[in-house]
Amino acid sequence: MSQLVSRLLVGAALLPIVLGVSWLGGWWLFAVVLLASLVALHELYTMTRGQRPLVLAGYVGLVVLLLGVELGGIGWLGAGPLATVLVAFVLYGIADARPSAAAAFGTTLLGVVWVGGGLAHVILLRDIEEHGRTLVFAVALAVFAGDTAAYFVGRAIGRHRLAPTISPKKSWEGFIAGTLASVVVTFFALYEDRETYLAIWESLVLGLAVAIAAVLGDLFESAVKRDVGVKDSGRLLGGHGGMLDRLDSLLWAVPAAYYVTLALT
């Protein structure tokens, strides 16, 4: 099976799951977010094992963060990182080995803030009264459409490199196509509520924010992988690599969507 076919099949299989649990919300969504977060965090710590992350502290902080957001809302976003630092310091103090404290603490905390914090905003976005379900649908579909359009257009006509030192295969042509696709999908997803929630211009702003954040999230993961010398975060999802490879865009796009939505309403 070619990488392209694998990529399409994995994406087509995952999208209905994301939309389905987003429709249900509540503890169903929490369970899927928690599972995806733990897998992605495991992949990150495996990639960065040379930095000696304090893995147990990261897992504890991730669970505290997601559980706090599920039960208490946005006010609990800081609980996870604080728990991570506390447990990490205890583990560092009792360990026989003495890795670089800055590297160990920094890598451990990066995983909780990046992975846990990013996916915690899926729960926060879904919990927006009356419109959370539609917003999660819009963001998920916009990211998928943008990634797909950028991939095909970039392969077909991409000539000008977007970020050659980080991700040489990404092109400005693909970026423009992906941005247009994301904006169009967001516009249509929110069009029905244009008179009662987000106006047309606001949905376009939201789509643009999601598109740009998704690309930055992808590039951020590429920078981390390049730094540690790996091509994919794992092989769990075939042509998509690992779980973190599939979530990288969402980890930035969902928080962007949440805060832009708050600013517009």
At 130 the pLDDT is: 87
CA distances from 198 to 5, 153, 202 (A): 36, 30, 6
Number of domains into which the chain is organized: 1
Average pLDDT (214-241) is: 85
Which two tokens mark 30? Answer: 């929490």
SS3 164: coil
Mean pLDDT calculated for residue range 125-142: 93
Give me the pLDDT at residue 115, please.
Answer: 97
The span from the CA of 159 to the CA of 166, in Å, is: 16
The predicted pLDDT at position 8 comes to: 61
Q: Which amino acid is at 27?
A: W
The answer to whether 244 touches 44, Cβ cutoff 8 Å, is: yes
Element (H, E) at 161: strand 161-163
Q: Give residue 10's pLDDT.
A: 67
Percentage with pLDDT > 90 across the chain: 69
The per-residue pLDDT for 15 is: 73
Predicted local distance difference test score (pLDDT) of residue 74: 94
User: Under a CB-based contact definition with an 8 Å cutoff, are residues 224 and 180 in contact?
Assistant: no
pLDDT band at 96 (very low <50, low <70, confident <90, very high): confident
215: left (phi > 0), else alpha (psi -120 to 50), else beta?
alpha
pTM of the full predicted structure?
Answer: 0.91
Q: What range defines the domain where residue 12 resides?
A: 3-264
pLDDT > 60? residue 178: yes
Quote the pLDDT of residue 240: 66
